[in-house]
Structure formats: C-alpha cells, structure tokens
Chains A and B, each alone.
Chain A
C-alpha cells in the first residue's frame, strides 16, 4: 500500500514486506506523499519523526 502511495520512499522485498528505500530525511517534495502513506497504512506502521 505504501509503495503505491509513495513509490519513491517505499518498496517491497521478495516477501512483499515493505522496505524503506531512502536514507535519512525525506526530501521536502516527498513529505506530502509520506504523510499520505502514513494516513493509509493498514497496519499503522509508519512513524514520521519531525
């Protein structure tokens, strides 16, 4: 799901489990997408640190 909402940030491993593709801070232009992924994560598994 997160890899659909924010494909630049999230990918998935060979089991389909989500992985984070970028290191460090999320670039400004992707922050809205990161929030959208968080709001829609079915397992409430995304934490955004400000």
Chain B
C-alpha cells in the first residue's frame, strides 16, 4: 500500500482514513487538520500508506516528541521505506543525528552543533544576501517571476553546498536528488532509491577526494578530522552529509516559498514590515508557525496506550508540527498570520532532543531571502492563485508560484 494508485480512492472520513498525498490535502492541509483536531478523535488513524497515527493537538505532538524512548526515530520518513532500500549498497548509512536514538544521538548531535551556532552561521549572511540580489537581477526586468523555482529553490541549496565545500554549480542536481528522496520518492520507491544512491555515491567520492587531496575549512573535512574526539566512521560522515542535503534544502526552500506566497497576497503585511522593520524577527517566527513546512515520523518501540489510542510496536506516528502550530488551545486565532504575535512557542523546528540543529541557519536564510526580495520588489502579487503548485507529505511548500510586479 505504498503507491499513488493504490491510495487514490476518495477520503470519506479523515479521522479514520486521511490521505496525506490527497491533492487537496497537499494544497491546503489546514481544514483537514482542524476537522481531525476538533473531532472526538484528535489522534486520527489511517491504513493508507502502510498505516499511521496522526496527532493534531499541540500538547500531544509535543508530548510524543519528548517521549523519545517509546516514540523512536528509527525511521522518520512519513511512509515506510521501500524494501529494496535496505538491500542497497549503502544499507547501513542513516542520517545522524536525525535518525539516531540515545545514547549515540548525543555525540552525533554534539559534533555538528558548533557549525550551526548563531555566531557561526552569521558568516553566511553576506554571501546569502549577494546570492539573493543576483537571483533578482536575473528576473527583475521581466516584471514576472516564479518565486518558487527562480528564487526560493535556488537559495538554501547554494548555502549548504558552500558549507559542505562542494561545487555550487551542481545546485540543480542536488535539488533533483533531494526532491527524489523527499517528494517524488515518497510515492515512488524506485525514484527514492535511485536518488539516495546518487547522493551517497557523490559524497563517497567527496570523502575519497579529501583523503587524496587534503583541504582546509569545509564541513566534510572537519567531520573527517574529528575522529580523535568521537568514534567517527565514514558511514557516519556520509550520513551527516546526506542529512545536510536532505534536511537543509527542501525545508528552508519551502519556508521561503510559503512566506513569499503569503506576502504576495497581503499588501497590508508588506506595508507593516516596511513601516516597522523591527518586526522582522517576530514576523519570521510567525511565518514559520503558520506555514510550518516539516512533518516527521516516529516508530513506536513497544505496545503502549497514548491518549486512549492503542499503539502497537512498529506503528508509525506522523509528527505534524504544522497541525500543532494551528491548535487554538495554544495559539489565539491560529489561522491568522499576526506578524507581531507576542506569544509564539511554535514547533516548526520540532521539540525535544531532535529539535532542528539548523534552525539558526534556516532563520538567517529566511530573513535575508525575504528582506532582499521586499527591498527590491516591494509590491508584487500572484499571477493566478489557481496555478500555484504545492509539494506535500514530508515537506509542505509551493514549488511553482508565479508572481507579477
């Protein structure tokens, strides 16, 4: 039950039969989330896509994220993996720290945290600004652009490539591989495996190349050299590189895209930010809350009852941070974007031990991408709301979003 055709029949009752790849849900998931959250059964279950639970209340999502011994990160993809993947040549390569459980999770995470501290990511600000300006130079004269493909999609991939020390000219290939794993691949196991192999083969060569021709000052080199402190293996380094690409690109690209999609439709918000630039930090958090791009998964370790739901060992739970972030029990007027929202303990970056390690970088990219756009293109609108194309499943955001200015 893991292909699009097998799962395409219409949904009657989302509390027992939701379909996260239903085109309507992909486009606008929030009404369904509200329906489930306000039903008698706020933790829905569906047999589609190999079966999963879908908690929709903030409190429940956070509680599951905190209980990492019962709700493990053995598999964090929202649909079961293709059996073929486990047999592939890189079967043992995971994506630490996101797929690690304690005790290894601790050092897996500790090793990469320093590169994402606020003071470390600050050095990418100017480069990101220059990149955004250059992208806009490329289309501003045309009076029209695809804010998804021509802009949002182009930014995070180049920032990550720079950090890793791999060629930024390969941006389109990296993007294709990541989409192959996180978007197309979720409903097409063959594409998923192929894309994964491309990523891991590429990094395998990068590792070998650094051994043959030592370099300085890039993340892959730093990871390879940290063996004195931790039991670092090639498998671990490959896993981290894999994660950087997969976690750092689609996510931030979606956040930038959704924010521009929102701004294109809200002249009053564009004006509010122009008149009150001190609102930027809260505005960024609010956009992250309202359009949280990322849904993760957990695997239940042992039979357990959670909020009256009989969960069995091996069951999959969708960690819907987007649904949690629209819970009216936690946020006033959750479906409104309020750029100066005072209380905003959102979970777009997750919660607990796996909370996003790259959040400072993501915030920086999102802020710079939006600020540069709004400086250069203060007034813009959607060409046609009906032609916006969304991606969903693991990561939600607009892929094609034409705007006019």
Binding site for B on A (CB under 8 A): 1, 3-5, 12-17, 36, 39-44
Contacts and interface: CB of A to CB of B under 8 A. Distances in A.
Contacts of B113: 15-17
A7 to B, nearest CB: 10
Contacts of A3: 118
Contacts of B349: 42
Nearest to B359: A1
Contacts of B327: none
Contacts of B347: 42
A42 B345 contact: yes
Given A5-B281, A15-B110, A43 B355 contact: yes
Q: Which 9 A-B pairs have the closest CB atoms?
A: A16-B117, A15-B113, A39-B343, A4-B281, A12-B118, A14-B114, A16-B113, A40-B344, A12-B117
Given A4-B281, A5-B281, A12-B119, A44 B345 contact: yes
Interface of A is mostly: loop
Main secondary structure, interface of B, reads helix
Given A5-B281, A40-B285, A43-B351, A13 B117 contact: yes
Nearest to A4: B281
Nearest to B285: A40
Interface string B115-151: 0111110000000000000000000000000000000
Contacts of A17: 113
8 contacts: A1-B285, A12-B119, A17-B113, A39-B342, A39-B343, A39-B344, A40-B343, A40-B345
B114 A16 contact: yes
Contacts of B343: 39-40
A42 B62 CA distance: 10
B108 interface: no
B346 interface: yes
A31 B295 CA distance: 35
Nearest to A18: B118
Contacts of A15: 110, 113-114, 117
Interface string B342-383: 111111010100010001100100000000000000000000
A42 B344 CA distance: 9
A36 to B, nearest CB: 7
A13 B116 CA distance: 11
